[in-house]
C-alpha cells in the first residue's frame, strides 16, 4: 500500500499515472502478475525503447519493481506490481495528540499455533519448522517473521493516557500474508482482528507470496519459502473499524470502552472459515517493508 498524506509528496506517482500507456502497463501487470519487456512491448504493439522509457517512470515512482532473470535470449528484466493499493489524502489534518510504538512481531504476549508454523530471527530459524513448542522459546521476542496455519498471536499495547485524555483512534500498520506450505500466490485467508477479545472484523489476504525475493529478506532465507506480504493499515475510531480506509465492521471505540486504566491487547487470528489460509507477519529484516508492527494511539484532551 502506498499512502500519500501530502499531495506534493506524490508528484512522481501522479506524473507516472498521467500516461494512458503507463496505465495500460499497470493493467497488464495486474492481469499477468509479471511480464518481461518484450512481452509488454508485444501486447501494446510498441517498440522496446518506448516501453523501456515508460517502465523507468513507473519504477521511479515506486508503482512497479524490476528483477532480472536468465532467459533463452540472455538476461531479461521482469516487471511486477510493487504495491496492491494507492490511497491519497486530499485533506490532511495531522492529529495533534498521538504516540506510537513499534512492536517486534515476535514480541507477542500470548499465542496458539498449528503447523505449518514457525518463526525466525534475522540470523536463523528459532528451533525447528512446524513445531509449535518453539513459539514459547525465549528467542521468540527477537523474531522478524512468524507464521502459522491456524491459531492466533496477541500483543500488548502500552496505554499512557492520563485522566484528562480520551481515546480517539487506534491504528495498526503491519505487513501480512497467508501461510501455505512453501508458498502459494493464490491462497486466500481470512485474518481476523481483535481488541481485548472484541472482534473488529477481518481482511482476506489473497495469498502467501513468493517467487520473487522479499526486498529485505536475509540472504540465508530459502527462496522456496514465502517472501513478502502486503502492508495494511487497520483503524478503529468512533465511526467504525477500517482496513486501508474500507469499512470492515461497525465496531467502534465506544464498544471496546477503553479508559486510561485499560489493558490494550491486539490479536490477529485465523481459524476454520471459508478462507482458512493461515497467517504470516513480517517484521524488520523480512518482507518488503523495514518495520515491525506499528501501533499508534490518537487521543483527545478533555477540557
Q: pLDDT tens digits, residue range 216-252?
A: 999 999 999 999 999 999 999 999 999 998 999 999 9
Q: How many CB atoms lie within 10 A of CB 56?
A: 12
Last residue of a domain, one of 86, 114, 144: 86
Q: Are residues 107 and 59 in the same domain?
A: no
Q: pLDDT tens digits, residue range 99-148?
A: 999 999 999 999 999 999 999 999 999 999 999 999 999 999 999 999 99
Q: Are residues 129 and 69 in the same domain?
A: no
All three cell numbers of 143: 523474531
CATH number at residue 174: 2.60.120.260
Q: Are residues 124 and 181 in the same domain?
A: yes
Q: Are residues 147 and 264 in the same domain?
A: yes
Q: Are residues 60 and 207 in the same domain?
A: no
CATH number at residue 42: 1.10.10.10
Q: Are residues 65 and 117 in the same domain?
A: no
Range of the domain at 31: 2-86
All three cell numbers of 78: 521482469
Q: Are residues 149 and 44 in the same domain?
A: no
Strands 86-88 and 2-4, by their bridges, are parallel
Can you give the pTM of this predicted structure? 0.78
Q: How many CB atoms lie within 10 A of CB 11?
A: 11
Q: Are residues 9 and 133 in the same domain?
A: no
The total of structural domains in the chain comes to 2
Last residue of a domain, one of 86, 112, 144: 86
Integer Cα distance of 28 and 81 in angstroms: 10
Q: Are residues 164 and 109 in the same domain?
A: yes
Q: What pLDDT score was predicted for residue 84?
A: 76
Residue 116 preceded by cis peptide, ω within 30: yes
Q: Are residues 110 and 224 in the same domain?
A: yes
Last residue of a domain, one of 86, 118, 137: 86
Q: Are residues 70 and 212 in the same domain?
A: no
Amino acid at each position: 500500500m502506498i499512502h500519500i498524506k501530502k499531495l506534493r509528496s506524490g508528484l512522481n506517482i501522479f506524473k507516472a499515472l498521467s500516461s494512458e500507456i503507463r496505465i495500460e502497463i499497470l493493467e497488464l501487470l495486474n492481469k499477468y502478475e509479471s511480464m518481461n519487456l518484450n512481452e509488454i512491448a508485444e501486447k501494446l504493439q510498441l517498440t522496446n525503447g518506448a516501453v523501456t522509457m515508460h517502465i523507468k517512470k513507473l519504477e521511479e515512482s515506486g508503482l512497479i519493481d524490476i528483477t532480472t532473470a536468465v532467459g533463452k535470449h540472455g538476461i531479461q528484466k521482469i516487471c511486477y506490481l510493487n504495491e496492491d493499493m494507492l490511497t491519497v489524502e486530499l485533506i490532511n489534518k495531522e492529529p495533534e495528540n498521538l504516540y506510537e510504538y513499534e512492536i517486534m512481531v515476535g514480541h507477542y504476549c500470548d499465542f496458539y499455533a498449528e503447523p505449518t508454523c514457525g518463526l525466525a530471527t534475522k540470523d536463523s530459524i528459532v528451533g525447528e519448522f512446524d513445531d509449535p513448542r518453539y513459539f514459547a522459546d525465549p528467542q521468540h521476542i527477537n523474531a522478524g517473521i512468524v507464521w502459522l496455519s491456524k491459531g492466533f498471536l496477541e500483543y500488548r499495547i502500552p496505554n499512557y493516557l492520563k485522566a484528562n485524555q480520551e481515546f480517539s483512534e487506534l491504528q495498526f500498520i503491519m505487513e501480512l500474508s497467508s501461510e501455505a506450505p512453501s508458498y502459494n500466490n493464490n491462497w486466500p485467508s481470512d485474518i481476523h482482528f481483535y481488541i481485548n477479545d472484541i472482534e473488529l472484523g477481518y481482511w482476506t489476504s489473497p495469498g502467501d507470496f513468493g517467487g520473487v525475493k522479499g526486498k529485505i529478506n536475509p540472504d540465508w532465507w530459502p527462496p522456496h519459502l514465502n517472501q513478502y506480504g502486503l502492508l495494511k493499515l487497520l483503524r478503529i475510531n468512533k465511526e467504525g473499524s477500517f482496513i486501508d480506509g474500507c469499512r470492515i465492521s461497525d465496531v467502534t471505540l465506544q464498544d471496546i470502552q477503553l479508559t486510561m486504566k485499560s489493558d490494550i491487547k491486539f490479536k490477529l487470528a485465523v481459524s476454520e472459515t471459508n478462507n482458512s489460509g493461515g497467517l504470516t507477519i513480517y517484521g524488520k529484516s523480512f518482507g518488503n517493508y523495514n518495520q515491525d508492527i506499528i501501533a499508534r494511539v490518537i487521543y483527545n484532551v478533555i477540557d
